Amino acid sequence: MHLWGDFKYGARQLRRSPAFTLVAVLALGIGVGANITIFLFVNQWLLRPLDATDASRIVRVTGPGGDSSVANATENEAHISPRDYLAYRERNQTFTGLTASHIGGPARVRSDGPPSMVPVSPVSGNFFEVLGVPAALGRTFRPEDGRRGAPPVIVLSDVGWRRFFHARPDVVGTTAYVNGEASTVVGVLPASFRGTNVPMVPQIFRPIVEDGPRALGFRV
């Protein structure tokens, strides 16, 4: 009874002060929205397992310093340098495989029409093999795709395939220009794979070149 009486009293007070009621509702809405956003980010980035065939066996490795929670968003000490990654991979005796990826950024991509700014993520040639992610169309990268002199190739995410390539069933084998470089589309990923930097989902993946003039470049 006391609770019901308090509720009625509060309702009467809110009716008498509509301006205060509006501010209170807006404040509550902003607060709830902010908390939901934070929860979704924490759930996707910290709690949700990585997209992989056997996610329980996959671990994310960061550098010895810096704030690892922002490693994918900023250039800080939480990153492992490309050359260190190669050294770790060559000396690895613990893991089944070591792979590398970078969050990348927007690149100018042109296919059939005018160019569009599309998020492109550089990954090592063994990235999809280590994660156990097969292609829905065509193939994923091979280690040789990251070697000097290899023909430039790209793999599309399902979202990128639908948004920028109009879900063309014959897209494999076509040419797209990424920042002016002609690249062959070799595969499209399944819709279930959203990358390892969720909530940011790359539209296009391209291999990291591990030797030569473009060695270890995380350029997009």
In a domain, 78, yes or no: no
Pairing label, strands 116-123, 153-156: unpaired
pTM here is: 0.68
Residue 109 lies in a domain: yes
pLDDT at 15 over 70: no
Query: What average pLDDT does this structure show over 47-60?
Result: 62
User: In this structure, are 108 and 167 located in the same domain?
Assistant: yes
Q: For 63-97, how does the pLDDT look when each residue is reduced to its tens digit (9 = 90+)?
A: 665 555 554 555 555 677 777 778 888 888 877 78
In a domain, 113, yes or no: yes
Between residues 108 and 93, the one the model is more confident about: 108
54 domain residue, yes or no: no
**Count of domains forming the chain:** 2
Asked if residue 40 belongs to a domain, the reply is yes
Measured between alpha carbons, how far is 96 from 100 in angstroms, rounded to an integer?
Answer: 14
184 shares its domain with 111: yes
Does residue 174 share a domain with residue 116?
yes
Shared domain for 112 and 198, answered yes or no, is yes
Angstrom distance (rounded) from CA 69 to CA 63 = 12
Does residue 85 belong to any structural domain of this protein?
no
How many CA atoms within 13 Å lie on the side-chain side of 170?
Answer: 0
Same domain membership, residue 167 and residue 97: yes
Owning domain of residue 180? 93-207
Mean pLDDT of the chain: 75
Mean pLDDT for 51-61 is: 66
Does any domain span residue 79?
A: no
Are 104 and 21 in a shared domain? no
- Most confident range (mean pLDDT) of 36-45, 96-105, 115-124, 191-200 is 115-124
pLDDT value of residue 42: 46
Q: How far apart are CA 176 and CA 170, in angstroms?
A: 13
